[in-house]
Structure 1
């Protein structure tokens, strides 16, 4: 960020950032030495520690480099450990970050924060949660991820990013799990035994699922959601992989009162979110080689599920309680972007 020294006013900095390609179009804050040092100090980490390289350019993501981009995103010191945890999660091999940022598919890393850290950071988890909900923390953490991939990874449209449509989450894609969920925090159900955690999953923007025409039956309500999961042209429908479904807290409570935990919801959806092979493959098209051995590709009436296992359907509780509602955030399929969860050190955000 050496060019920062040539800007002496905020107006000059904004103009310089656009001219040097340090932003994707939105204004960014100047990454001053003081701002970057404050973020690193809050993490308690070594500024030179290498987290990994950011594809496709292969730029080095040290703690200090991540902090510089987080400072540009407007992260406060208390936000930074969560942003750092998200970066470490998406650098794990199973996430396939290179594929996620360069694919033609409209997926992007969604950062999901869960546990007491949500309220400590003042994160939005009700109205308009998928557009930041007016929260500084949601916007800044999501933006930090984007700017790191932009500036260090060189993930620019055209070359090398070939994503055909994209979605607004590419500016900032960060949500918080509702503290009033009737079920354990998402990261805990994924095996992370800490109070707070962060999960990163590459997915599309949410597709709304209203409860028109249903009654109080959990099976009927979940069937409505399953229908939206198994769209004929979706990557999950053809390649499985993982997907995300979202329930408002009041809908999750309704299901919980009927004896459904997160695992029961996953199993019900897995049984219902399926398509006939005869509907998926045109005559003469061979069954996919990546389908599991138990898929009978020769039977046009065989129902193929959208994921290989029930636990590959991630269930998130968030959003407002105006009325019960659901949503689907389809995944990239079996190509990558799979969910990775990391623990958040409580000391990094406590007063």
Structure 2
């Protein structure tokens, strides 16, 4: 019932305290998870949250996260059971980042960002226990994935020259959201020079051929790729007059690679029949359009390290957070615990 790490026993008293973080009744069904459509109630989520070490103030994020997992567009069942060993990638936007001290700056992907690790852990355990997905049974990941239950970060909105992720996806800036994708790889690199061409070229060259964005890989789902860019790289691109959309378009239009390097063709039958046996030097797009690219404002830290995360076989889906009436009172009470 756990991720193999120590847990806090979900006693009645502790679950009751966790439920202070929501106005929904304990028997309210937040969604149905897994291929058996097993329901998860608010009380069940609270119990898993206690085990993971969460605070009651985390409940609005957790409830929205469950709604994202239950959304068919998230494809969560696919990346939960696949042999590829996919992870749950979470992105938090809005004022809730500061309210809960969700890491979005230095070390945000590291082990010291408490809320990041605990929220992601709780959502992973809750999904596992609700859908009854266990290694070697339903979870058939051949090698597993160290990011399975801990890949959550807040977007560094304050240092970004562009609109936040949730705003570019149709939400109001004042709203808080959580977004879900299902990637299996995380790669970092540092541009040799701080100039636009170097950043853009690095985004392309550090995306391996096996990391495909679009529908051309021959599977029954689209795949997206997320680029997490440092503040320096973001400012460099913005200073050159480039918008977020233009960066996405540039990456997609220049992502062509030789067909023999298109590794996904090995995995999917007939995926590249249109390209093989035509022109020897034929190139194919690694990313078939800007809609399969996400650009996220990363950490504000000395240095220019950037990351590419993907490919995601689920989502991305974004859900708005709903807060209880006594949210501010609860925040104040637990402020010393953050």
TM-score band, normalised by shorter chain? 0.7 to 0.9
Match of 2:146 in 1: 168
Match of 1:62 in 2: 41
Instruction: Note if 1:106 corresponds to 2:88.
Output: no
Which one of 288, 306, 315 corresponds to residue 271 of structure 2?
A: 288
Q: 2:212–2:287: 8 Å Cα contact kept in structure 1?
A: no
Q: CA deviation at 1:220?
A: 2.9
Encode CA deviations 1:245-300: one digit per residue, 9 max, x unaligned: 111122212211221222122111112223222433789x97527x9xxx866455
Quick one: structure 1 residues 44 and 157, their matched pair in 2 at CA, closer, same or farther if it must change by over 3 Å? same
Could you say what secondary structure the match of 2:177 adopts? strand
**Distance (Å, rounded) in 2 between the aligned partners of 1:296 and 1:40:** 56
**Distance (Å, rounded) in 1 between the aligned partners of 2:202 and 2:86:** 23
Could you say what secondary structure the match of 1:170 adopts? coil
**Distance (Å, rounded) in 2 between the aligned partners of 1:39 and 1:260:** 45
**Distance (Å, rounded) in 1 between the aligned partners of 2:182 and 2:82:** 11
Quick one: structure 1 residues 57 and 148, their matched pair in 2 at CA, closer, same or farther if it must change by over 3 Å? farther
Match of 1:331 in 2: 311
Instruction: Note if 1:268 corresponds to 2:250.
Output: yes
**Distance (Å, rounded) in 2 between the aligned partners of 1:286 and 1:277:** 15
Quick one: structure 1 residues 88 and 226, their matched pair in 2 at CA, closer, same or farther if it must change by over 3 Å? same
Match of 2:336 in 1: none
Instruction: Note if 1:150 corresponds to 2:150.
Output: no
**Distance (Å, rounded) in 1 between the aligned partners of 2:25 and 2:90:** 23
Q: CA deviation at 1:193?
A: 2.3
**Distance (Å, rounded) in 2 between the aligned partners of 1:154 and 1:300:** 48
Q: 1:142–1:174: 8 Å Cα contact kept in structure 2?
A: yes
Name which of structure 1's ranges 259-268 and 233-242 shifts more when overlaid on structure 2.
Answer: 233-242
What is the 5 A alignment of 1:186-205? Answer: 186-195=165-174, 196-205=176-185
Over the residues paired in the alignment, what is the CA RMSD in angstroms?
2.6
Instruction: Note if 1:137 corresponds to 2:95.
Output: no
**Distance (Å, rounded) in 2 between the aligned partners of 1:194 and 1:66:** 28
Match of 1:313 in 2: 293
**Distance (Å, rounded) in 1 between the aligned partners of 2:280 and 2:323:** 52
**Distance (Å, rounded) in 2 between the aligned partners of 1:62 and 1:252:** 41
Encode CA deviations 1:207-255: one digit per residue, 9 max, x unaligned: 012113xx443133211111122x2333548626211111112221221
Match of 1:47 in 2: 26
Match of 2:163 in 1: 184
Instruction: Note if 1:259 corresponds to 2:255.
Output: no
Unaligned regions of 5+ residues in structure 2, if any? Answer: 332-338
Q: 1:24–1:150: 8 Å Cα contact kept in structure 2?
A: no
Quick one: structure 1 residues 35 and 205, their matched pair in 2 at CA, closer, same or farther if it must change by over 3 Å? farther
Match of 2:186 in 1: 206
Could you say what secondary structure the match of 1:44 adopts? coil
Quick one: structure 1 residues 223 and 265, their matched pair in 2 at CA, closer, same or farther if it must change by over 3 Å? same
**Distance (Å, rounded) in 2 between the aligned partners of 1:66 and 1:311:** 33
Aligned length: 318
Could you say what secondary structure the match of 1:275 adopts? strand
Q: CA deviation at 1:27?
A: 0.6
- The alignment's TM-score, normalised by the length of structure 2, stands at 0.85
**Distance (Å, rounded) in 2 between the aligned partners of 1:227 and 1:340:** 27
**Distance (Å, rounded) in 1 between the aligned partners of 2:288 and 2:20:** 43
Q: CA deviation at 1:315?
A: 0.9
Which one of 213, 221, 241 corresponds to residue 223 of structure 2?
A: 241
Q: CA deviation at 1:34?
A: 2.8
Quick one: structure 1 residues 300 and 45, their matched pair in 2 at CA, closer, same or farther if it must change by over 3 Å? farther
- The alignment's TM-score, normalised by the length of structure 1, stands at 0.82
